[in-house]
Amino acid sequence: MGETYNAPVNLRFDDTNPAKEEQEYVDAIKKDIAWLGYQWANELYSSDYFQKLYDWAVQMITDGKAYVDSQTSEEIAQQKGTPTQVGTNSPYRSRSVEENLDLFQRMKAGEFPAGTHILRAKIDMESPNMLMRDPMMYRIMHTEHHRTGNDWCIYPMYDWTHGESDYIEQVSHSLCSLEFKPHRELYNWFRDHIYDYAKEALPMPPKQREFARLNLSYTIMSKRKLLRLVEEGIVSGWDDPRMPTISGLRRRGYTPNSIRKFIDKVGVAKRENVIDVSLLEFCIREDLNKSANRVMAVLDPVKVVITNYPEDKEEWLEAENNQEDDSAGFRKVPFSREIYIEKEDFKEEAGAKFFRLQIGGEVRLKNAYIIKANSVVKDDNGEITEIHCTYDEDTSKKVKGTLHWVSIKHAITAEIREYDRLFMHESPDSDKDKDFMEYVNPKSLTLKTAYLEPSLADVKVGEQFQFQRLGYFNVDDDSTAEKLVFNKTVGLRDSWAKQKPKPQANENQNKPKPNLQKRSAISVIQQLGKKYTNLAEEKQLKAKAEIEVLANDVAYDELEPLFGTAVKKAGTRIATLIALKVMLKNGLERNDAINEFIEKAKEDKNAILVAEASDI
């Protein structure tokens, strides 16, 4: 908002509760905001205003607008009433101004133990807004404050401090989340009384304005509930990469730009809503696609022996770092007789839609040769331990699949931390009958040992890479030269779209309908494409996720006819590009028809089409 209106924004810590304020929280907040790329005009603390707030409280007592109550907290709560029943006045509400001033000054002097007296505003115990029923302004706390030390033993309440701090700073718009909307009446009541005391020196009264909190699916955003996750050891700390904290996102591998872009896309709402976490993941994919260098790593290896390649030979082949960044340059990767590929990239027998390695079939090794699988070696349990292949130096041949790989004798190892959703429920704290902890995903963290190309031996904490065909990975804070540790930031596509449970239909809808055949994946993709450009951005992302899942069941021969779709049918061409991108990542070999289709899309007038084409 400050950038939009070219207005200064203060960073203020409402440090009114010494029991909950610590310097480490202050330092962490400042670090996070600076990392996001924001600058604040002034660093301010409500504790700087303790004397001014006290002086104004004395004036309110003098004007008969505040009094000292000496009841227990239980008695006060009982007299407060309910939303449907009015409250009753405190027996101390009619104390004289002189007695209230004397007690308040003695509270400040430390004469009373905690809980014996409080200062309350004198408003209306019959107000329909329970916050207006003589709210507390000060309580006694014999606790050292992280900034003021032991100067004070009475501390102001948030509702009293917040608006008055805004007024002292001459804030025009005080922005807060929707749960503070009922507080606005109290905010204005305090503000209007204080304005009479200081309007000459402080001419501008502030306004409170509310907006919706950011709520993410499969996520908890409550600090109190996040603290439970930390205290009960569900996560390793506030910066655990599964946590929705800035420090957690940073450690996971999210960039400041991706988070800012996400916030821009979400916008400001005036009603509560839940944003699909897949939008956040879309933003980091989009950002890292442009900036992260591509490297090769194998997470679930199976050994490949290239039988016609000399045993003592090795080559260093040239590999492009990032085709999206012309300045990224090239690197050398070693090739030898024995390599690792991913287990899932090989099947002894496979259908026409499997573009990877199978017995008798050929694939291209990324940046290297074409290999053909001839036989396998199995252990006593029937598990494949080796795939025997032959290689062909003629790399100009057209083959459909391309695999990543790592030379075994040159490979370095690393610990890989793969993260899943922390909760298995889309809205884990929405069920009033269940504790949100019941929805914690026991498989939210998986540890693996990966084999990496040797160019990654000297990586630094915080560096980010695309492990080709696997996803984006970030060097974790725990990583050392002796033991590399990578966090999986996000996969190359949304793998959760196909895991979401489908909404339950009623009994009649569950009955099979006669004579209706299941539509093919390609026809559904076409249907989604027809309306794609007319959808809102969030719905476009959902359609895109659905197309990405369907693309796994489409053969190239089915997709290629859509390359010739009419120019005016931009949506169908966008859907075709999205599906093509998945198939290429699954190992489909690029050919002239594919290249021509992509280049033509890059020159189109439709911005979405251009963006999708540029992402391939």
Closest to 339 measured CA to CA, from 294, 359, 361, 369: 369
Instruction: From 161, 180, 210, give the residue that closes a domain.
Output: 210
Residue 513, in any domain of the structure: no
CATH of the domain at 384: 2.40.240.10
Closest to 100 measured CA to CA, from 160, 134, 57, 71: 57
Helix-strand-coil split of the chain, %, nearest 5: 35, 20, 40
Residue 508, in any domain of the structure: no
Residue 445, in any domain of the structure: yes
Task: Look at residue 507 and tell me whether its pLDDT is greater than 80.
Answer: no
Number of domains present in the structure of the chain: 4
The boundaries of the domain holding residue 365 are 294-420+431-498
Residue 503, in any domain of the structure: no
Does 530 lie in the same domain as 388? no
Interior/surface letters 109-145, b for 16+ CB within 10 angstroms, e for the rest: eeebeeeebbbbbbbebebeeebbbbbbbbbbbeeeb
Lowest mean pLDDT among 371-380, 400-409, 423-432, 459-468: 423-432
Residue 514, in any domain of the structure: no
pLDDT of residue 505: 44
Does 184 lie in the same domain as 43? yes
Does 131 lie in the same domain as 89? yes
pLDDT of residue 121: 98
Instruction: From 291, 318, 350, give the residue that closes a domain.
Output: 291
Q: What is the C-alpha separation between 166 and 172, in angstroms, rounded? A: 8
pLDDT of residue 218: 92
CATH of the domain at 250: 1.10.1160.10
Residue 555, in any domain of the structure: yes
Does 346 lie in the same domain as 463? yes
pLDDT tens digit string along 509-545?
444 444 445 678 898 998 899 889 888 887 888 889 8
pTM confidence score: 0.77
Instruction: From 167, 192, 210, give the residue that closes a domain.
Output: 210
Residue 510, in any domain of the structure: no
Does 350 lie in the same domain as 275? no
CATH of the domain at 15: 3.90.800.10
pLDDT tens digit string along 190-231?
999 999 999 999 999 999 999 998 889 999 998 899 999 999
Does 541 lie in the same domain as 479? no
Task: Look at residue 88 and tell me whether its pLDDT is greater than 70.
Answer: yes
Does 258 lie in the same domain as 391? no
Using only C-alpha atoms, the chain has a radius of gyration, in whole angstroms, of 32
Does 274 lie in the same domain as 306? no
Does 570 lie in the same domain as 595? yes
Does 592 lie in the same domain as 445? no
Q: For residue 21, give Cα distances in angstroms to 13, 15, 119, 243.
A: 9, 6, 22, 21
Does 386 lie in the same domain as 250? no
Residue 73, in any domain of the structure: yes
pLDDT tens digit string along 12-65?
999 999 988 788 888 999 999 999 999 999 999 999 999 999 999 999 999 999
pLDDT of residue 586: 82
For 104, counting Cβ atoms within 10 Å of its Cβ (0-12 exposed, 13-18 middle, 19+ buried), the class is buried
Does 561 lie in the same domain as 470? no
485's tokens: 């540790």
